[in-house]
């Protein structure tokens, strides 16, 4: 048996014989040890020691995006397509501040990404040195955890902890700020950090499970309201099994799309501001709302005190802070969504339920009544039909990534999704410029899958430089650019709510986007009329490399239905 003294002597001998390593090398080796194979980044002065070592770590594949924001959003797309933690590097000062939007996006959509920023040397911190900003302080409200590295010996344990924190529980971003002198410093030591065991979230208490089951049995008009937490909690299979057992209708948030297949017989569609009528009406009429992995976001609920006004509430979420935050619940089940959904068995031992057949028939009759009519008037390309047809002609494994605006809502309304990883969009932050870098990150993370980015003429310009990244790495991303020569969603609101005062939303001076793409050496073509759509979809889907389909659409086309701000979801405006 080894005594404590013998152990200490062994450790001393190991340290004495261990090759000194720089903080930069320890950082990269520790990241590789977490199973990371891809980093999205952009070099600069303060993080240069890390990039000096990077070519010597063959396990790590680095993707040079053309803007730090693009790097961060590519890491988010990679994480969401793979279910793994993304990794992103940037330098100090503007490199770090350019990451802030991506960090906030990851935080609001609960995406695990580790962001590593270079920092000025320790002696210059706090002196307003060249390219110094307090990125630790700037990002405190939008990270799960953050570090400033003071000692290179801390790095291996710090990296292991950072990746653990990013992925455990409710996922989110973690920031590591690395001063340049710490990156250069040599050490033989490896400080031992407390090992973090893999947490296995428990399900709700037995009495709470029983109370939830009783509510389900006694409901006349039950309804599932599901969100992004279903996928993040690995509860898709359990949700579908529970829906199949109970035959209860389902509505989804934007981030919950795909948790139920779009063509599932119990699925009513997306709810909320641009939700489908059958979904919004079901919420308003239900007497039991079973909330799983959703958080009563204002875009989903409309005026909160009119949302599901007659319903009792069961709320399941990994984050206990979400339960009773915005809506008082009758039963709260915190912990593992997977376990809570699997545990719910309201009809076990032959227990009798209320007859809900009249309710379900009403829901499905409404779904049929309000089924979309794709035979729209006018001569312009009709974006909803184009997206509807594209999603059905793409292969079953296709991933759609979206920017933010009218096209984002049309994708949510009209594309079919069979899995949550099929739909990647910026939900909580609503980030324009998200779709292109997220698409290239998703394609790199899932190269075997077809990845289609749907963007608008406003959004594409915010990170259009990432077309250069597509070309450099020959990333076979398919881009559908819907061009209405306007900031469409803002223009729609100006039309409907601001007396048609179209202030600063006219983009009629757009460039020829197909020519712009070709200047980046990306294959591109333009669709101007409806009779060109079918051939355009064929060409897009057949392309082996990156391609952009530029589609001219009606500048006056709006997204319907629309729930006005401050109104009940039942008060939907139509065309």
Residues annotated catalytic, as ranges: 68, 130-131, 180, 489
* Strand-by-strand arrangement of the 312-317 sheet: 267-270, 250-252, 222-226, 288-292, 312-317, 331-334
CB atoms within 10 A of CB 573: 12
Locate 178 and state its tokens.
């690395």
For 97, the token pair is 């501040």
The whole-angstrom separation of Cα 198 and Cα 441 is 27
φ and ψ of 201, to 5 deg: -55, 135
Q: Are 47 and 95 in contact (CB under 8 A)?
A: yes
Beta strand 145-148 with 173-179 is parallel
- DSSP line for 232-301: HTT-HHHHHHHHHHH---EEE-STTTTSS-TT-TTEEEE-STT--HHHHHHHHH-SEEEEES----HHHH
Task: Identify any residues that bridge with 165 across adjacent strands, giving them in sequence order.
Answer: none
CA 98/CA 465 separation, integer angstroms? 14
- How far, in whole angstroms, is CA 458 from its chain's centroid? 20
CA distance 24 to 124: 19
How many other β-carbons are positioned within 10 Å of the β-carbon of residue 13?
Answer: 10
- Does the bond joining 561 to the residue before it have cis omega, within 30 degrees of 0? yes
> By the 8 A CB rule, do 219 and 246 touch?
no
Task: Give the span between the Cα atoms of 212 and 324, in whole angstroms.
Answer: 16
Geometric angle at alpha carbon 55, from 54 and 58, rounded to 5°: 95
Q: How many angstroms separate the CA atoms of 163 and 354, rounded?
A: 47
Tokens 């197909």 locate to 514
Neighbours of 138 (CB within 10 A): 15
b/e sequence 523-551, b meaning 16+ C-beta within 10 Å: bbbbbeeeebbeebbebbbebeebbbbbb
SS3 content of the chain, % helix, strand, coil (to 5): 40, 15, 40
Q: Phi then psi for 71, rounded to 5 degrees?
A: -60, -50
Please report the sign of the dihedral spanned by the C-alpha atoms of residue 479, residue 480, residue 486, residue 492: negative
Beta bridge partners of 478: 452, 547
């Amino acid at each position: 048996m080894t005594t404590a003294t013998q152990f200490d002597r062994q450790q001393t001998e190991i340290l004495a014989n261990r090759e000194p390593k720089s903080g930069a090398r320890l950082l990269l080796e520790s990241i590789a040890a977490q199973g990371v194979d891809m980093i999205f980044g952009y070099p600069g002065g303060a993080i240069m020691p890390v990039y000096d070592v990077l070519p010597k770590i063959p396990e790590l594949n680095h993707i040079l995006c053309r803007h730090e924001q693009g790097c961060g959003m590519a890491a988010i797309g990679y994480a969401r397509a793979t279910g793994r933690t993304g990794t992103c590097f940037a330098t100090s000062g503007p490199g770090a501040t350019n990451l802030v939007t991506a960090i906030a996006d990851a935080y609001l959509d609960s995406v695990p990404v580790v962001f590593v920023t270079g920092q000025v040397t320790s002696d210059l911190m706090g002196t307003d040195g060249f390219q110094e900003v307090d990125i630790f302080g700037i990002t405190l409200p939008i990270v799960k955890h953050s570090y400033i590295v003071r000692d290179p010996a801390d790095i291996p344990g710090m990296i292991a902890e950072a990746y653990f924190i990013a992925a455990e529980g409710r996922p989110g971003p973690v920031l590591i700020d690395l001063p340049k002198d710490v990156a250069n410093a040599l050490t033989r030591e490896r400080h031992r950090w407390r090992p973090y065991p893999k947490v296995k979230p428990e399900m709700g208490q037995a009495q709470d499970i029983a109370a939830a089951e009783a509510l389900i049995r006694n409901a006349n008009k039950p309804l599932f309201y599901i969100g992004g937490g279903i996928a993040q909690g690995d509860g898709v299979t359990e949700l579908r099994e529970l829906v199949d057992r109970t035959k209860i209708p389902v509505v989804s948030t934007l981030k919950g799309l795909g948790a139920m297949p779009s063509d599932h017989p119990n699925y009513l569609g997306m709810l909320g501001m641009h939700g489908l009528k059958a979904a919004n009406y079901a919420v308003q009429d239900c007497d039991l709302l079973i909330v799983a992995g959703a958080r009563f976001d204002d875009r989903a609920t409309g005026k909160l005190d009119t949302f599901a006004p007659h319903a009792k509430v069961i709320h399941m979420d990994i984050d206990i802070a979400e339960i009773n935050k915005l809506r008082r619940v009758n039963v709260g089940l915190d912990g593992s969504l997977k376990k809570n959904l699997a545990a719910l068995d309201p009809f076990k031992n032959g227990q009798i339920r209320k007859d809900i057949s009249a309710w379900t028939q009403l829901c499905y009759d409404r779904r049929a009544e309000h089924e979309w009519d794709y035979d729209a008037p006018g001569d312009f390309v009709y974006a909803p039909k184009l997206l509807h047809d594209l999603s059905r002609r793409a292969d079953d494994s296709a991933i759609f990534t979206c920017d933010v605006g009218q096209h984002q809502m049309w994708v949510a309304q009209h594309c079919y999704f069979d899995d949550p990883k099929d739909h990647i969009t910026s939900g909580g932050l609503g980030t324009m410029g998200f779709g292109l870098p997220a698409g290239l990150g998703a394609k790199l993370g899932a190269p075997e899958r077809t990845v289609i980015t749907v963007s608008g003429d406003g959004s594409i310009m915010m990170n259009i430089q990432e077309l250069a990244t597509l070309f450099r790495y020959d990333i076979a991303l398919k881009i559908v650019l819907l061009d209405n020569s306007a900031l469409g969603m803002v223009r729609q609101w100006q039309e409907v709510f601001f007396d048609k005062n179209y202030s600063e939303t006219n983009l009629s001076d757009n460039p020829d986007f197909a020519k712009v793409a070709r200047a980046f050496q990306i294959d591109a073509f333009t669709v101007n009329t409806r009779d060109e759509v079918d051939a355009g979809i064929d060409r897009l889907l057949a392309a082996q490399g990156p391609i952009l389909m530029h589609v001219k659409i009606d500048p006056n086309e709006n997204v319907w239905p629309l729930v006005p701000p401050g109104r009940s979801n039942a008060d939907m405006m139509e065309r």
